[in-house]
Structures are given as structure tokens and as C-alpha cells.
Amino acid sequence: MHIDAKAVKALREKTGAGMMDCKKALAETEGNEEKAIDILREKGLAAAAKRSGRAANQGIVESYIHLGGKIGVLVEVNCETDFVARNDEFREFVRNLCLQVAATNPTYLVKEDVPEKILDKERQIIKAQALNEGKPEKVIEKIIEGRLDKYYRENCLLEQTYVKDEDLTIHELLTNLIAKIGENIVIRRYCRFEIGEGLETDSQECCC
């Protein structure tokens, strides 16, 4: 059964569950939103969104050094209790985040962090590309929206595909962990350093 992307998005907004989880739940219920919500609640995925407002002031800072010292990453992830901060699954999640940042070099943590001037520039570029490709004016806005989504997936950590499982985004990986552990978990910040970076330009990737 084909599941409409708008239905998946609407279910995600109502439950906070990951896109793939929402799509699977809708597929299982043949597109019935109410039944899909029940499935997500049974799995604990919808409840994860409700935990997002709870204070998370514990956690750990994890480090990772790659390629003989050529790349280094620091990541801070917060949780609600010191007990969870010592949890093996929580720590593994943070280590995997370090690997993700080392491999993909995201510019931003979440898509809301992308400056509006950057988005405006991307919109102008995408519009020019679409017009050069001969796309009709009436579909330009949809093309811009679709290619901006791709930009977010490439540049924002939480929107990226998980390098160890292409069926998951980092947001979905995080949501699944929250549902399993039962605490609010927040990826607070990260920094990535690479030898030689910034020597010719003044840029440096750091989300902190």
C-alpha cells in the first residue's frame, strides 16, 4: 500500500515519532491514523515526544579520534539522571554519534539552526537551477521544498541518515532510545576538528 508523505508528516507532528516508524505504523493500519497512533503508543514511540519537555541536566561528553589523529570529535548528550548517563546503551548511542559526526561532518545540529540568509540563498540557487532545467513556474515551490529537505538531510545532524543503518535518521535513532530508556535525551552540542581545516579559510565546524 502506498503511504502518502503528507499523512506520514501529519502523524509525526502529532506523535513526535520518527518518519520511518510513522510510515510503518500507517502501512500496518492501511492508512488509519488513529490506529497508527495506537501502535506507536504501544511501542512507546509516541510517549517519547511527551518527555521532550523534561529537564535533562545529566549526561556525558564523549570523544573520538579517527585516522591516526587527523579527525577529532567531541559530543555532549544530556539525559535526566546520572543512572542513565552510566547506561551502556546510552553511552553506545553517544559513541555512535561521534562516529556519525566524524563521517558526515554536519554543519548544523538541527534544521532550525540554519540561518535564514543561508536558506534564502539556497532557495535562489534551487529556483535558478529549476528554471534552467526547464521546469514550469507552477512547480518551482515544490521543487524548492524538496531540495531544501535534501539540504537538511545532508547538513543537519538530526536529519541525517544514520551511517550504520540507512533505514534510520539520527532523529529516529534518538526517539527510539528515548522510548526504550524512558527519559528525555538531548543532543546538546558537538565539535569536529580536522587537521589543516581553516588554514586556508577561516571556517571551522563547531556546533556548541
Query: pLDDT tens digit string along 81-136?
Result: 999 999 999 999 999 999 999 999 999 999 999 999 999 999 999 999 888 888 88
Residues 63 and 87 in one domain: yes
When divided into structural domains, the chain yields a total of: 3
Residues 122 and 197 in one domain: no
Residues 142 and 168 in one domain: no
DSSP 70-112: TEEEEEEEEES-HHHHT-HHHHHHHHHHHHHHHHH--SBSSGG
Residues 74 and 97 in one domain: yes
Which residues form the domain of 135?
115-153
For residue 119, give the CATH number of its domain: 1.10.286.20
Confidence at residue 203, expressed as pLDDT on a 0 to 100 scale: 45
Query: pLDDT tens digit string along 168-190?
Result: 999 999 988 988 888 889 999 99
Q: pTM score, two decimals?
A: 0.71
User: Is the model more confident about 169 or about 41?
Assistant: 169
Residues 104 and 175 in one domain: yes
Instruction: Name the pairing type of β-strands 58-66 and 165-169.
Output: unpaired
Residues 96 and 171 in one domain: yes
Residues 139 and 45 in one domain: no
Residues 8 and 97 in one domain: no
